[in-house]
Structure 1
């Protein structure tokens, strides 16, 4: 009876459904990857042995390799999303074009990521395309900037909606709650995007923070992504 209660508990069933998705598993691995990146730096600074630091560095590299495999052919998803956004003439123009650019950028980023995976597998000569990592990070940067434009536009639109609602004599509480929720989501997404921009600017050499700071930033955005996926999981 106790075992049945545990096995069929709604939270466990939701966790199983969550981990049954590629996006859920990939986001978990991303969190582990950046956490290991942070720990490899932090533990060494705290006086732990070099072997301990190398263990977490090795785990980080293995997580990164596995994520590349899981994201193979994912550029097709972004190609489809870009096409849908471009065809949606009813969408706000700023949101429409920002969505197109964001998905095209992520398509480029993930395509470069797949080529890097081929190198690691030995399918492609490691000496070919030496700037591949930098190209991937520039595509990631483009995706983040267009995503930031998208969220700032949403903030502007939802702020105007909220102002209009509050100015009415009889405020529709349900609609106000909905707009406030959308505003919070946009602000939260803006913070996550800026945090990821901190990572990519370090990758490109425009910022020069240590591995601990980069690892902590990646862990934060991974947890936020996990929360969003968990909330969306039915």
Structure 2
């Protein structure tokens, strides 16, 4: 219970819970819509989804400051590729949160002279760039992990080269199987990297749909958003599972 209280006391924790609720409603609504007699349930899910989405905007109002701080921190990364990717990803997040704040101002009626569709597209575009750059960073980190695992494996095979059985079994593995096993072992050794990659892959589905690059149905978007939200909840609840900047 103490852990749950600490989690919900954090703005990011509450936002992740709201986000998980939002995408769960979307997924359930998609699954129930084709079924007869579920109209009232679908309508309630739609209303809850809309309310939660509006509530999440309150939690994001101060995120511009956090994004600026994250940009400053990412410039100190020692490796060039993560430094460039994360810096530009966080800069795009700054622009995204500015657009999101403008949309919130328009939605609460503080001003009416804002082109809502234009600002929504700008927000979606910069969010897409942010997620894409984060995903590039993940792929780079995966490649480094795979190189390390391959290097360790080569050392083991060299030490076992005097063992005919061990050597023949290694030689019988197909190329595609070797690559898959290499990827699996790399991600298994680095759970934060796996979690971050899954989260970004799921997040990019929503951006591709919003920008019209690749249209998905609400079921796919809802499932992807739910998985991404669960990954986010894990990183907030367990900080050691968050991918660190080298």
TM-score range, shorter chain: 0.7 to 0.9
**Is the 2:142–2:187 Cα contact (8 Å) retained in structure 1?**
no
> Match for residue 222 of structure 1?
229
- Determine the C-alpha separation between the residues in 1 that align with 2:230 and 2:13: 11
* TM score, norm. by length of structure 2: 0.79
Residue from 33, 41, 59 that aligns with 1:44? 33
Following superposition, the deviation at residue 129 of structure 1 comes to: 4.6
Verify: 1:134 aligned to 2:121, yes or no.
yes
Verify: 1:190 aligned to 2:202, yes or no.
no
* TM score, norm. by length of structure 1: 0.82
Q: How big is each residue's C-alpha offset from its partner over 1:132-177, in whole Å with a ceiling of 9 and x where there is no partner? A: 11111101110111001111111122223333444557xxxxxxxx
**Is the 2:103–2:116 Cα contact (8 Å) retained in structure 1?**
no
> Match for residue 22 of structure 1?
11
Q: Give the superposed CA RMSD.
A: 2.5
More moved, 153-162 vs 58-67: 153-162
Structure 2 unaligned regions, length at least 5: 157-185, 241-246
Residues 181/30 of structure 1: CA separation in 2 closer, same or farther (3 Å cut): same
Following superposition, the deviation at residue 22 of structure 1 comes to: 0.7
Residue from 66, 72, 75 that aligns with 1:77? 66
> Match for residue 5 of structure 1?
none
Structure 1 unaligned regions, length at least 5: 1-11, 170-178
Following superposition, the deviation at residue 181 of structure 1 comes to: 5.5
